[in-house]
């Protein structure tokens, strides 16, 4: 009445190999996709002292934590909140324990 499926070791080996190839291809694509991007939106200071961060929110609802030097931060803090355009590289890192996009700033333009 009930039929049991017996897995053959050879089929499982092939399946494992296929999964390994797919995963390695995706990891390669992720490494190659990191380049400079330009994002514009409203920047504001978020968090509690002494752990504040500058967060950029786009019109589409995407959020980026801006990462830059202390000198760049001091000049930007005086004009926040503001509409800005930022060019930089994106990476995923934790912010208050949650994964969020971090944008390492190369250039900032006020709009």
pLDDT at res. 96: 83
- The Cα 51–Cα 53 span in angstroms is 7
The pTM for the full model equals: 0.65
Each residue of 33-89: pLDDT tens digit?
Answer: 457 899 999 999 988 888 888 999 999 999 999 998 888 888 888 888 999 999 999
pLDDT at res. 81: 92
- The Cα 39–Cα 35 span in angstroms is 13
Helix or strand (DSSP H, E) at 66: strand 63-67
């Amino acid at each position: 009445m009930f039929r049991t499926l017996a897995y053959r070791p050879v089929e499982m080996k092939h399946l494992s190999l296929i999964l390994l190839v797919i995963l390695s291809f995706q990891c390669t694509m992720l490494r190659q996709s990191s380049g400079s991007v330009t994002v514009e939106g409203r920047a504001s200071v978020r968090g509690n002292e002494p752990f504040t961060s500058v967060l950029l929110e786009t019109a589409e609802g995407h959020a980026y934590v801006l990462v830059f030097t202390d000198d760049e931060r001091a000049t930007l803090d005086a004009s926040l909140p503001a509409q800005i355009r930022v060019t930089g590289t994106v990476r995923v890192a934790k912010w208050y324990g949650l994964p969020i996009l971090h944008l390492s700033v190369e250039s900032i333009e006020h709009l």
